[in-house]
Amino acid sequence: MKDLKKIKNFLLDMDGTIYLGDRLFDVTPKLLDRIAKKGGRAVFLTNNSSKSGESYLQKLKGMGLEVSLDDFFTSGDATAITLKQRYASPRVYLIGTPSLERQFLDYGIELVKDENDIPDCVVLGFDLTLTYEKIRIGCKMIAKGAKFIATHPDRLCPAPGISIPDVGSMIKMFTEATGVVPEIMGKPEQTMASAVFERYGFAPDETAMVGDRLSTDIRFANNSGITAIAVLTGETTSEEIAASVDARPDFVFASVGELADEI
């Protein structure tokens, strides 16, 4: 059994873990305060690449939390950091929102616009501005040899009323058209953990992932060699955890409030 007292760094999923929709769980400040008092670090981790950390910063500040921009890490960050490690000067055709475009430019990534130019890779993000022209050009570049990369694999994104198609659904279309399966950067892949370690200098044995989804949060922790902590305030139930074979949490808590009492 792993020792929670030795964990210093906590990667926190957001919706379903520290808040639900627009409602902050009243035990969330307790957890953040406990992490700070033990000299640890909390980083808010999300697969959503349609928004930058700035968007989440404003949301959490609006909920009354004292947070800074460096406390947020998205699959867009993971993708950009990984590309910077792999290529001296990454050249990318990006299928993403204006927010993700700005994020990539801030990392010093060149965004290719000419469809007759073959970039190092085509990156598919959660693009709420997706057009047929973007699809056509992306497929053309992949067919001509550009590496195909997706920021994350989530099929659906929670939304009021009904969930909406996310990157995982878009991947199916591109793969059907090109025959190419993309490399995934976000949760549950270990690539995202490597990018987190690069950014923050965390050590795996001192780091835990806290989340409400077995398929992303807990599998991510299992794949990355970090402590896996499941909470029951979001998607996953205790019955699903008991029945799960390929995603196993090290600890299960009713909420992050119970977690705070144990660290």
Domain holding 236: CATH number? Answer: 3.40.50.1000
State which of 143, 162, 184 marks the end of a domain.
Answer: 184
The dihedral sign for the CA sequence 174, 220, 222, 158: negative
Which residues of the chain, if any, have pLDDT below 70?
A: 1
- Residue 23: its pLDDT value, please? 92
End-of-domain residue from the set 184, 207, 223: 184
Residue 226 lies in a domain: yes
| Three-state DSSP state, 259 | helix
Both 173 and 221 in one domain: the answer is: no
- At residue 2, the pLDDT reads 84
What are 244-253's pLDDT values in tens digits?
999 999 999 9
Is 70 inside any structural domain? no
Task: Collect all residues with Cβ–Cβ distance below 8 Å to 153 and sequence separation of at least 6.
Answer: 47, 167, 168, 171, 184, 186, 188, 216
Cβ 148 vs Cβ 121: under 8 Å: yes
- Those residues whose C-beta lies under 8 Å from the C-beta of residue 70, and which sit 6 or more positions away, are none
Enter the tokens of residue 246. 């390929």
User: What is the reported pLDDT for 137?
Assistant: 98
**Tokens 């955890």 sit on residue:** 241
**Same domain flag for 179 and 191:** no
Do 104 and 148 lie in a common domain? yes
Residues 217 and 257 in one domain: yes
Residue 21 is predicted with a pLDDT of: 85
Q: Is the preceding omega at residue 188 within 30 degrees of 0, hence cis?
A: yes
237's CB contacts (< 8 A; 6+ apart) are: none
Q: How many CA atoms lie within 13 A of 147 on its CB side?
A: 13
- Residue 158: what pLDDT? 77
pTM (predicted TM-score): 0.93
Residues 43, 106 share a domain? no
Quick one: pLDDT at residue 109? 98
Tally of domains in the chain: 2
Please report whether residue 83 resides in a domain. Answer: no
Q: Indicate whether 75 belongs to any domain.
A: no
> Is residue 65 included in any domain, yes or no?
no
Asked whether residue 28 falls in the same domain as residue 102, the answer is no
Flag whether 123 is in a domain: yes
Residue of 49, 99, 54 lying closest to 77 (CA atoms) = 49
Position 69 in a domain: no
Co-location of 194 and 146 in the same domain: no
Residues of the domain holding 129:
88-184
Q: CA-CA distance, 151 to 23, in Å (whole number)?
A: 27
Pair 105, 156 in one domain: yes
Which of 184, 208, 225 is the last residue in one of the domains? 184
In a domain, 66, yes or no: no
Chain segment 99-132, per-residue pLDDT in tens: 999 999 999 999 999 999 999 999 999 999 999 9
CA nearest to 46, candidates 15, 69, 21? 15
